[in-house]
Amino acid sequence: MAQHQVNYLKDGGLPVALTSIDKVVNWGRSNSLWALTYGLACCGIEMMASGASRYDFDRFGTIFRASPRQADVMIVAGTLTKKHAEFIRRLYDQMTEPKWVISMGSCANTGGMFNTYATVQGVDRVIPVDLYLPGCAPRPESLQYAVMMLQKKIRSEKAIKAQKPKRLM
């Protein structure tokens, strides 16, 4: 590297880091959380705002994907109707392990204000949820915080072990 005038011993040290496999794998997983585009109601607008330039999800490595096969995290943003419940389950099943679910907003958490015959009273009746984000609707800052909490959770998990599929039942 003499021709480029780079002295690794001086400028920031050698390009070597010693760590454990767990940390490397979890670093990769937690910093490339690709989210499934799944706006169901008004929370979806906040989710879109989080992805846009002002709040900028990309700096967390969170990129929205339109296919469940490319997604790691499902952000359930909005009211889940009973008609739609089987499709959220199907999309969840199509995501590859490891996968996580953020339940965003009151409607996804508990059914919220829609205490009616047509609304699922909390998505955790259908799919296992890792993180409940309260709010109606949560602001983009809250969603960022939720993603950072999820990153924290991922970092605390064992990376190298048989990924037991999460089961609701």
Partner 1 sequence: MRSYTPKDDVQKKSYYTDRYWVAPQVPKSDVSEDAVFAADHAELRAHFEILEAYIQRDQMVVYIHPKDNYAVLEFLRDHCGYTQLSELSAIDWIAQRGGFEVFYQMLSMTKRKRIRVKCFIGENEAINSVEKLFRSADWSEREMYDMFGIKVNNHPFLKRILMPDDWEGFPLRKTYPLQGDEFAAWYEVDRIFGKEARDIIGPEIRDAARVDRYDTERFARLGYEVPKGTPFDPNQPKTSLAYQEEGGVFLIEGFDEEKSTIISDRKR
- List of residues contacting partner 1 (CB under 8 A): 17, 19, 23-24, 27, 31, 82-83, 85-86, 89, 109-111, 113, 115-118, 120-122, 125-126, 132, 134, 145, 148-149, 152, 155-156, 168-169
Round to whole Å and give the CA distance between 28 and 107.
31
Q: 6 or 113, CB closer to partner 1?
A: 113
Closer residue to partner 1 in complex, CB, 65/82? 82
Residue 15: asked if its preceding bond is cis (omega within 30°), the reply is no
- φ/ψ bin of 33: left (φ > 0), alpha (ψ from -120 to 50), beta (otherwise): beta
Contact 112, 77 (CB under 8 A): no
Report the alpha-carbon distance of residue 102 to residue 143 in Å, rounded: 9
Report the nearest approach of partner 1 to the CB of residue 2 (Å). Answer: 27
Closest distance between partner 1 and the C-beta of residue 48, in Å? Answer: 19
Nearer to partner 1, 26 or 72 (CB): 26
Separation between Cα atoms, residue 154 and residue 107, nearest integer Å: 25
CB of 34 to partner 1, least distance (A): 18
Nearest one of 81, 83, 86, 169 to 121, comparing CA atoms:
81
Considering beta carbons, is residue 2 or 16 the nearer one to partner 1?
16
- Closest approach, Cβ 112 to partner 1, in A, equals 8
Given the structure tokens 């709010």, which residue do they identify? 135
Report the residue number, 77 or 123, with the smaller CB distance to partner 1. 123
